[in-house]
């Protein structure tokens, strides 16, 4: 099992939380081994990796979306494509374009795929509403987290906790000055410095600032994907790499 961190529903108020790292799957280099990126790696291997994830969560199936650095939130339910031990055909999926998923169902885990962007898992344990969001520079500044919280509140969520997962740290995220300034102006908490002392964006700082301003309790479990060889990193691996996931699921009612 290669969860970078894992909270089982039994110890977390009925909500399972995980961030995978790159180990524990079946893919071969350069996607070794637990890759969830679709398109370049062998689809048989990626399917097998999803099946392992479905099994690990105990849900039997995993919902994902076609991510585009946008702010659309999809409610997981009918019409959704699922991946798991009963549906492994990646040729037909994913069909829903979204950068966040929200659900109140107990039988499906929600996953967002990342390799430097920030995976954010959210839950209202009491109301049993869960969500996961993909927050890179573009989505964060466009408001994907606010949109996710709004969708959760529509489902009845009030007391929301967020787990901020592994992503690229400011020390490794040097960007051109105009790009940095645009982010800093809109969201001052994104101001960062690279290891070389140059302009950088602090994605984790920005994510936490947005969540805290919305009254969310935040827990950071976020080593730098570029520094830490346990993770896939788009920047470190120059674009040829896999994707890890942030995952959330509801345990059976009463498992809290
Ligand atoms: Zn780093």
Residue 32 belongs to a domain with what CATH number? 3.60.140.10
Ligand 1 mean position to 239 CA, how many Å? 16
Ligand 1 mean position to 166 CA, how many Å? 10
Cβ-Cβ contacts under 8 Å for 139 (sequence gap 6 or more): 69, 70, 71, 99, 117, 133
Domain contains 64:
yes
Return the H-helix or E-strand segment holding 252.
none
- The domain in which residue 10 lies consists of 3-250
Ligand 1 mean position to 91 CA, how many Å? 34
Domain contains 138:
yes
Calculate mean pLDDT across residues 97-108.
Answer: 93
CA distance 175 to 177: 6
pLDDT of residue 2: 45
Domain contains 255:
no
Domain contains 256:
no
State how many domains the chain has: 1
Quote the percentage of the chain above a pLDDT of 90: 76
Residue 157 clears pLDDT 70, i.e. is over it: yes
Ligand 1 mean position to 97 CA, how many Å? 30
The torsion angles phi and psi of 136, rounded to 5 degrees, stand at -90, -175
Calculate mean pLDDT across residues 88-107.
Answer: 80
How big is the CA angle at 34 (ends 121 and 131), to the nearest 5 degrees?
15
Return the H-helix or E-strand segment holding 119.
strand 118-124
Report every protein residue that has its C-beta within 5 angstroms of ion ligand 1. 169, 171-172, 224, 226-227
How big is the CA angle at 149 (ends 68 and 205), to the nearest 5 degrees?
75
Predicted model pTM: 0.94
């Amino acid at each position: 099992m290669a969860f970078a961190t894992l909270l089982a529903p039994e110890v977390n108020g009925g909500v399972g939380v995980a961030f995978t790292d790159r180990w524990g799957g079946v893919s071969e280099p350069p996607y070794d081994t637990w890759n969830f990126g679709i398109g370049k790696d062998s689809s048989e291997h990626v399917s097998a990796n999803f099946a392992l994830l479905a099994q690990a969560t105990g849900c039997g199936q995993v919902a994902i979306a076609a991510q585009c650095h946008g702010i659309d939130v999809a409610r997981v339910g009918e019409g959704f494509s699922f991946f798991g031990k009963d549906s492994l055909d990646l040729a037909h999926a994913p069909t829903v374009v979204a950068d966040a998923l929200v659900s109140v169902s107990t039988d499906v885990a929600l996953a967002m795929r990342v390799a430097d962007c920030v995976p954010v898992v959210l839950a209202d344990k009491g109301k049993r509403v869960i969500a996961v969001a993909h927050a890179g520079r573009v989505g964060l500044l466009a408001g994907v987290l606010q949109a996710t919280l709004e969708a959760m509140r529509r489902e009845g969520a009030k007391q929301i906790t967020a787990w901020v997962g592994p992503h690229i740290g400011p020390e490794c995220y040097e960007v051109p000055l105009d790009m940095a300034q645009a982010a800093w102006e809109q969201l001052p908490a994104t101001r960062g410095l690279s290891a070389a002392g140059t302009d950088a964006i602090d994605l984790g700082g920005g994510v936490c600032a947005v969540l805290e301003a919305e009254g969310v309790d935040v827990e950071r479990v976020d080593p730098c994907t570029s520094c830490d060889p346990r993770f896939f990193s788009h920047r470190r691996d120059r674009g040829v790499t896999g994707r890890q996931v942030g995952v959330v699921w509801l345990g059976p009612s009463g498992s809290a």
